[in-house]
Amino acid sequence: MKRKSAFTLIELLVVVAFLSLMVLVAIFAFKGPLFKGYDARRKSDLNRIKIALEEYEKDHNCYPPYLPSCKGSDAGILKSYIPIIPYDPHTKTDYLYYPDPTSTCAKWAWLFTNLEYTGDPKITEIGCQNGCGPNQAYGFNYYVTTPGAPDPFKSGSANVPPDVSGNYYGCFSGVCQPIGVNSDTHLPVCQPNFTSSDCRNLCQDESGPINECNSY
């Protein structure tokens, strides 16, 4: 009886499925350390920004009303304290800076990001396993605060944050107007932006309109 020398279709499919499974296993095994590396950078970045904010507050008795668009740009208002504002190493987007909206002179601030390795125990430790942010519309899983800041909103938690709308405002031809938030990143659609409905009276000076809100 003549022996078959070729694979049957079923045998080929089994081999392809097995190889595909091995590729997926290799990808996930690689992504774990990669995500942890990105997350270590994110944590370091937020701490660096936090330190710069605290130094700014010591000199001005308030936290800055806004930060310039990050993405490696000039640090603008924080230039004396940090030369370049860091940004997310993977998505290349800004971190979310949210200063105290209850006062024209912000006394505290929050900084938010998302860690990619969702098994990081720090996420549960700070209570953000179900999402946290300025209000329930946000789904970040990691944050740092300046001294004296209240806890932000945490989904599934009984904590009550300050009266924070989560809304943003921008200057347009000298007038403060509401602006939208990107549905994917949860970041305001233009910079500079403010958390107070009067834009902290920074839309005009004696020379005319200033701080025009420009899209990224």
Compute the average pLDDT of residues 77-93.
91
pTM (predicted TM-score): 0.70
| Close Cβ partners of 89 (under 8 Å, ≥ 6 residues apart) | 38, 41, 42, 45
134 domain-assigned = yes
Q: Which range of residues forms the domain containing residue 121? A: 28-165
73 domain-assigned = yes
How many domains does the chain divide into?
A: 1
The per-residue pLDDT for range 150-203, each reduced to its tens digit, is 999 888 776 656 656 668 899 999 999 999 888 777 778 888 888 888 998 999
Residue 4 — very low, low, confident or very high, per pLDDT cuts 50/70/90? low
154 domain-assigned = yes
